[in-house]
């Protein structure tokens, strides 16, 4: 049951990204640049994944949990671009994978710094 409470949000987040990637046209696509959408979306995925890799304990943020969370987010970004190659009017773009990976890294770096700040007296 604990695994579901930790990894369930990750699976739901990924399902949401998959749903959005399945759309030929995104309703809010013109409101912000594509790269910012990827940065924000994969920052969120990295954070829910970090929560799972630390067992829900922000005090447990370490290099292993950070790397694992980043790899999951980055690899999901790759699979998302492959998926988009099969969606009408969508294309796969390596720049999107870069934005996904950078967004994940920025969010994880912020979480790591926050963990350090919280542990400081």
**Per-residue model confidence as pLDDT tens digits over 1-57:** 788 999 999 999 999 999 999 998 877 667 788 899 999 999 999 999 999 999 998
- Domain residue ranges in the chain: 2-22+34-119
The pLDDT, as a whole number, for residue 121 is 65
**Per-residue model confidence as pLDDT tens digits over 57-108:** 877 789 999 999 999 999 999 999 999 999 998 899 999 999 999 999 999 9
Helix, strand, coil percentages in the chain from 3-state DSSP, rounded to 5? 75, 0, 25
- Measure the CA angle with vertex 99, ends 93 and 105; round to 5°: 145
């Amino acid at each position: 049951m604990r695994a579901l409470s930790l990894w369930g949000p990750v699976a739901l987040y990924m399902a949401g990204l998959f749903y959005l990637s399945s759309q030929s046209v995104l309703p809010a696509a013109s409101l912000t640049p594509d790269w910012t959408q990827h940065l924000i979306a994969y920052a969120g995925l990295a954070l829910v994944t970090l929560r799972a890799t630390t067992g829900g304990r922000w005090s447990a943020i370490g290099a292993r949990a950070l790397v694992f969370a980043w790899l999951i987010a980055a690899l999901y970004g790759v699979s998302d671009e492959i998926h988009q190659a099969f969606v009408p009017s969508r294309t796969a773009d390596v720049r999107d994978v870069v934005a996904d990976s950078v967004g994940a890294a920025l969010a994880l770096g912020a979480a790591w710094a926050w963990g350090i700040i919280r542990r400081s007296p």
